Every structure is written in structure tokens, then in C-alpha cells.
Structure 1
Amino acid sequence: MGKKDLSTSRPQRDQKVTACVLGETSDSSLYPALRLTLTFGAETPGGGSSSPPWLSSLLAKPEANHPTLKRLQEPVAGPEGLVRVHVPFSLQDLSAIEKRLGSFSADPTQYTKEFQYLAQAYSLTWHDIHVILTSTLTPEERERIQASAREHADQTHMTDPTMPVGADAVPAANPNWNYQLAGNGHRRRDQMIQCLLAGMRATSTKSVNFNKLQEIIQDPDENPTAFLSRLTEALTQYTRLDPTTPAGATVLATYFISQSAPDTQKKLKKAEDGPQTPMADLVKMAFKVFNGREEAQEQQ
């Protein structure tokens, strides 16, 4: 998949400029249109960037004979050479990305898949990646992933000398890579992403914590279905069990019986098949107690 620009159609993007963008826009159904701030700059001999006068004048007064700043696929040369456009993340961006990636601890597979898509869809910089990771991972998760990523770089370097090692492959601070066509920033960035994905997969083993399930007790006035939903969510999040499998269903039923409200628990313990009782039957039994309790209160 080709690299794509982070930009989508915006008032800023409708202005006419001569610039080299990072590629096409992505499918807005996956990452919807976001309000972004554009920063423009041309490489200077000292390695910094500055906005050339011709670009500033174009932004101030669009001209009909200049290409538009959206969906450019070919590098465009201006009077002062090629100019790459960097679109920094806005708060709306980060909110959408965080929602899309989700929690790494809760679903590392989903997080890794979405991060890979994001990296393939957009031409990111080191700073972009840093912002994504710091916004969507806990400090502990980030440290574990980066440590595993650097180990992957070391191992890969043994068979591929072009792969940097350790912190050179996955820098902790901005390495100020050159992302212009003449620089190697894109290659270094791609190597970093490769290592990060490997680090995510290496640390994606979900930790098991049955204590989290033991903390979920049915409230006296809680609907049995709502209680079951909380248990199911905890089982999925804190164990490797699938509640739709026989083993997972048995464990779920065990907690449903033992941690229901006292009167419901007394009824459920009489189930002939115990935890092997189909969950639908246990829920029906629980509702009889729950509804009977409400009827008794109404009669009083």
C-alpha cells in the first residue's frame, strides 16, 4: 500500500500551493475526516526549515495556476525546490486514533493490527509515532514494547546489517531524520515501525488475573443480564478463556453462580448440572428470583 498523506479536504487544503505532499488521503470511513493544522517548511542548509516567501504568498492569495494541496501523487517542484508538507496531529486526530486502536492490554491483537494499518496508510514521522504511542499506551506498556522492539532490532542486525541496533533502531528521543526525498528518514522510520510491530507481538501475551473476576459481585438490585455482561467482559479481558467455548462457559457459569446476590445464589446452587448448566437456563433461574423479589416488594 502506498504512503498516504494525513490530510483530508479542509479549508486550508483548498488553498493553492506548490508542494510535495506525502501521498494520497486514506479511506475516511476508517479514519474519518479530521481538522488539522498545516505546517510548511523547506529544508535549509542548516537542517532546519523555513517557510519560503513564494509559499507564504500563495497561502495568502491563491492563484488558479497552482496545483491544490490535496491528493497529490507526484512530487511538485517550486522555485526553491521540493517542499514536503507535515500535518501534525490535532486533539480530534488523537481521539479518533485512540478509539480505533483501543486498549493494548485488553486486546493487543486489535491494537497491533490497527497500528500497522495506520503506519501503512499514512507517511508518519518519528514524532507522529511518539505521539501515538504516548497517547494510546500506558508507560509500562510502552516501555515493554520498546524494549522488545530493540531486542528485535539486535536480532535482525545479525542477519541484516542494514538494520540499526537497539536505540538507534527505536530512538527514545527525536532523531531528526530527514524525510525529504534525498534523505533516509523514510527508511529509518519504516525500520522503526517494523521493530515496534515485532515488539507488540512479542509482548501481546495477555496476562491472566482471575482476581478481577472475583471482584465482580452482583448488586442486590442488579439485573441478572447486566451482571452476566460484567462477568463476561472481565473474563474476556483478564483471562485467555473464550466464553463461547465449553471451558470458558463453565468458568463463567461458576462465577455467575457463586457471585450472584445471596438469594439468587441459593437458587442457582440447586441447579442439577451445576456450572455445566447452560447459561441461558441459569439466567432464567436468576430472573425468577429477581422478578419474585420485585413482586414481593410491590405487595408490601
Structure 2
Amino acid sequence: MVFSAASAVLFGVTPAVASRIYSMGGNAVTLTFYRNLMAVPVLLALLGLEGVSLRLTRREAGLLLLMGAGFRVTTTLMLYQSYLYIPTGMATTLHFLYPALTALLCRARFRERLGPWKLFALGLSGLGALCLLELGAGTDPRGVLLASSSALTYACYLIGLDKTALRDMHPHKAACYMGLLNAAAMLAVSLPTHQLRLALPPAALGLSFLLAVSTFFLAVSLLQWGIRLLGASSAALFSMLEPITSVAVGCLALAESVSRRSLLGCALILAGVALTALAGQRQAVEK
């Protein structure tokens, strides 16, 4: 629970930092490229200190390619691109369709039992997310589509971490290979479109490195540990703390206004997360 919640808080800071990098000349492709590539040396150093082998089986390599370049990089690119069309808070809220999608896909594909408490918690959190969503007449449908699509690909990514051989892989090792694959995918995407801007100001590069370390080095690893201990659907519910963090950081750093409706949404999300935690403790005691 702690790992999943901490990961969500770290990810929640991302929109504010991304908006700052965009104002310095960056874009979604550039930020995704740097965010993945800059984390690799840090992760390699940690793996060397821990004595973890970098060897992969053919099956593991295929899964990393699918989950990393197929789902993870697509999620990040679509979400970052949506920030150009709609407010960061709205984009993050739409992205947070993924806990519901994760639970439904686990139920449909793996026959996971959700239980009344988890369903109720999911309903509370979903209602809270809707309260944070403020669609207006000027809302760009491209941003809505991109942010919503990122929810589906991220749900597939979480399920892949939980239901495949990647579940037992060392988190830093998985993050390191995904960083390399994602950076290579972004480089390939940028070649025909010329969207990759390597010459960013030092401040933008510094913020990109900070984002890389806080997300890939810490948040991704914490999330993988959380999924290993809780399962994908429960870890996704704890990740609902991310939009609350995003709203708070947007208010403090970007001077975005917070309505009573948004505050109600945050309260409902917190109630859903707290209910999931209590239900998890009850199951642990019964065992």
C-alpha cells in the first residue's frame, strides 16, 4: 500500500514539471525520450551495486518489448501530448479511467473476484475522478481522446506487470530495460516527424533528469513492488492518489484554481483509497 501510494504521489508531480519543460522549448516526444534515457545510467549503477544480472531470457525480452515500447511508451507519449490541448488536471483525470479499466480487464480475462468492498471503493474513486473533470465548450477533443486512450494502454501495462514473468523480475532491472526500449522507440518516432529537440536549455535538461529519476528510478520501481504485493487492480486503486497530487501541485506551482467540486472529488478519491486499505487489512487479519 505504501509503495503504490508513494509511486502515485511521485507521478502526480509530473504534469507541473512537464508544463515547465514545454515552456522552455520541449515537447512530448523530447520529454519522453529524455525521461527514459536519463534514468538508465542511474539504474545500471544500482544494479551493479546490488549484483543483479542483466541477462534476459527470450521470453522476458519479448515481454519487455511489448510492455515497454508497446504499452508504457505509448501511454506516456499520449498523456504528455494531451497536455498541449487540455489542462493538466483534466488530462490526468481522464487518464485515471485506468483503475476501473484494470479491474474490469482482470475480471474479464482472469476471472478475478473484485468483491463488494473493492467495487464500492472503485465507485467512490471513479465518482471523485468525475468531480475533477470539468469539460467545457472550448475543450479540445484531441486532448480528451489522447488522455482517455492513455488509460487503456496503461491498464494493459499494469496487468502485464502482474500476470506475466515480469512480476518476478527485479524492479530496477525491468525499469532499466524499459527505459532503453522506450528511448529507442521515441528516437524511431522522431525520425520521420523531426519532433525530437535535443538542444534544450540547461534548466530544461535538469528538470528532465529530475523527472527521470523521480519517475523511472523511484515511482516505476515502487509501483512494480506494489503490484507484486497487492495485485494490479488493488495497486491501481491506490494510484488514484496521483490526480489529487496533480491538482495540489497545479494549484501551488501553476496557479490553477481549485473549485469546491474538485475538493469534493479529492475527498471521494481519498475515501475510496482508505476503504481499499481497510479492506486489505481485514483480509490480512482473516488469513
Give the TM-score normalised by the residue count of structure 1: 0.21
Q: Greater strand percent: which structure?
A: 1
- TM-score, with structure 2 as normaliser: 0.22
Higher relative contact order (CA 8 A, sep 6+): 2
> Based on CA coordinates, which of the two structures has the bigger radius of gyration?
1
Q: Name the structure with the higher helix share.
A: 2
